């Protein structure tokens, strides 16, 4: 049990050190697209999955460093499915506000 706690603490410390070396991981980015904008909350993901940084970042490298439709549907959605995150289209894609005339 002590070894597991030590390993977990070391992993968290290394991840935090990595975040400090690379830069601030506190940011939000919105990706505009025809299905409605998708807002990515890096802080929320980094805090919840601190030990899994390499998974997303290596996948992003595989996709040429850009978040594309394919990346979102192949990487993000599959991860959301396994971690009980949002998986319905309108949970990630927020439709632009539509003004209706009466």
Q: Which CATH class is domain 24-102?
A: alpha beta
Q: What's the CA gap between 44 and 47, in Å, rounded?
A: 5
pLDDT at 78 over 70: yes
pLDDT at 4 over 80: no
pLDDT one-digit tens code per residue, 9-41 = 444 444 554 544 456 788 999 999 889 999 999
Domain segments of the chain: what residues?
24-102
pTM: 0.65
What confidence category does residue 50 fall into, taking pLDDT thresholds of 50, 70 and 90?
confident
């Amino acid at each position: 049990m002590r070894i597991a706690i030590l390993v977990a603490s070391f992993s968290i410390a290394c991840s935090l050190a990595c975040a400090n070396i690379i830069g601030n991981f506190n940011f939000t980015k919105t990706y505009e697209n025809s299905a409605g904008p998708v807002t990515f909350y890096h802080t929320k993901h980094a805090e919840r999955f601190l030990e899994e940084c390499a998974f997303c970042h290596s996948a992003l490298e595989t996709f040429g460093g850009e978040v594309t439709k394919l990346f979102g549907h192949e990487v993000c959605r599959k991860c959301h499915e396994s971690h009980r995150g949002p998986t319905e289209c309108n949970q990630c894609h927020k439709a632009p506000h539509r003004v209706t005339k009466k």
